[in-house]
């Protein structure tokens, strides 16, 4: 008897095929209902064992297609399923299923199902003689024990793995190396980015423009202020000297009233004139210093010389003012 076994599970197909072959059944397999339809276009099997739940068309939908085709409508279909409820069995019978083979009890119920098929088809399921020269490899394998079959499968798997394992190991090594290189490059890139960010946050170095601005500020603000303070200090000292000399030049106590009054008037005039002369000298020095600041901006070295010259000029002017006061006092 020839049976077409339809199941999307490879392991389920393998297990049920071995059980059928032990009973001397020739088995052809298909992984879906659509694949089974292709096989049914050729030589027809004596019966079909079909899984109930499959991708694409399920068992019941495939059964409807088989029943509608006159070429396959009379083939008995056994539904292999995990459903054993009475409602499901009744529905299956109504759709024209020959029988239900529960997957959980397939080894125990399979002989009974094959006997029913034998009776319905009028064919024998006896296994062929083992010594016959025409025995196929599949039929010979059907007579082997489970341990022998497992050894055969293990041997084939080992032979196949010995061929594909080196390639798999090499591919794994290549993937690991590439992953390590990529991770290393990522870490280096992150470190470089962090260093760049730290450099951007650091205080910038002063440029030539910044230094020029600082020197200009010193020449226009700091230096004139220092010169002004020096001139003011010099003026104060000169005025103190003038006041002292005037006090010494005034008539002593006991002189005539007119002479004393005249001496005080002359002293007052001299003091006023000395102060006016010294103030004019200071203003002249400051004006001269402002005119010299432009030269400082062009050349720092020239600026230093100009500043020292201005200080010397201010000192000379102060001394000149003090000399003028002495001359006036002497003339009085």
Helix (H) or strand (E) holding 30: strand 26-30
CATH architecture of the domain formed by 2-127: 3-Layer(aba) Sandwich (3.40)
Q: What are phi and psi of 257, to 5 degrees?
A: -65, -40
Q: What is the pLDDT of residue 29?
A: 93
Output the six-digit token pair for 250: 């005034």
User: Alpha helix locations (H) across the chain?
Assistant: 10-22, 33-40, 59-68, 86-95, 106-121, 137-142, 146-201, 208-217, 223-249, 257-298, 300-331
Report domain extents, the chain. Answer: 2-127, 208-331
Q: What is the pLDDT of residue 297?
A: 52
Cβ atoms 285, 237 nearer than 8 A: no
| pLDDT of the chain, 332 residues: tens digit per residue | 899 999 998 988 898 899 899 988 999 999 999 999 999 988 899 999 999 888 888 889 999 999 988 889 899 999 998 887 888 888 888 888 999 988 877 788 899 989 999 888 875 444 444 434 444 444 444 445 566 667 666 666 666 666 666 776 877 777 788 888 888 888 998 888 888 888 777 767 777 888 878 878 887 878 777 777 877 787 787 777 767 776 776 555 544 566 556 666 766 776 677 667 767 766 776 666 566 655 555 554 554 455 555 555 655 566 565 555 555 555 44
Separation of alpha carbons 4 and 289, rounded Å: 117
Nearest Cα to 50, choosing from 90, 95, 87, 85?
95
Separation of alpha carbons 254 and 286, rounded Å: 46
137 CB burial (10 A radius; 0-12, 13-18, 19+) = exposed
Return the SS3 of 320.
helix
Residues in Cβ contact with 304 at an 8 Å cutoff, skipping those fewer than 6 apart: none
Q: What is the pLDDT of residue 143?
A: 47
Q: What is the pLDDT of residue 272?
A: 74
């Amino acid at each position: 008897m020839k049976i077409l076994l339809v199941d999307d599970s490879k392991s389920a197909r393998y297990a049920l095929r071995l059980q059928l072959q032990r009973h001397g059944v020739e088995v052809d397999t298909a992984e879906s209902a659509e694949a089974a339809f292709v096989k049914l276009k050729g030589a027809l099997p004596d019966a079909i064992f079909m899984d109930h739940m499959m991708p694409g068309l399920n068992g019941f939908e495939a059964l409807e297609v088989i029943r509608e085709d006159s070429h396959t409508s009379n083939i008995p279909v056994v539904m292999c399923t995990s459903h054993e409820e009475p409602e499901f069995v009744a529905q299956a019978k109504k759709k024209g299923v020959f029988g239900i083979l529960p997957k959980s009890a397939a080894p125990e119920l399979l002989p009974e199902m094959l006997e029913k098929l034998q009776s319905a088809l009028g064919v024998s399921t006896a296994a062929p003689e083992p010594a016959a020269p025409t025995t196929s490899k599949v039929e010979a394998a059907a007579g082997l024990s489970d341990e022998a079959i497992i050894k055969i499968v293990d041997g084939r798997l080992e032979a196949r793995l010995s061929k594909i394992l080196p390639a798999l190991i090499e591919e794994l090594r290549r993937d690991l190396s590439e992953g390590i290189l990529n991770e290393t490059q990522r870490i280096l890139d992150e470190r470089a980015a962090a260093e760049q960010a730290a450099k951007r946050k650091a205080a910038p170095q002063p440029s030539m423009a910044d230094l020029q601005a600082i020197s200009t500020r010193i020449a226009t603000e700091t230096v004139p202020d220092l010169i002004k303070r020096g001139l003011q200090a010099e003026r104060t000292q000169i005025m103190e000297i003038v006041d002292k000399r005037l006090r010494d030049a005034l008539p002593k106590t006991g002189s005539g009233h007119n002479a004393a009054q005249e001496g005080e008037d002359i002293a007052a005039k001299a003091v006023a004139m000395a102060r006016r002369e010294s103030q004019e000298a200071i203003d002249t020095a400051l004006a001269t210093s402002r005119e010299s600041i432009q030269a400082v901006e062009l050349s720092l070295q020239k600026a230093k010389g100009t500043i020292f010259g201005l200080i010397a000029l201010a000192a000379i002017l102060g001394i000149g003012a003090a000399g003028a006061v002495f001359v006036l006092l002497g003339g009085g």
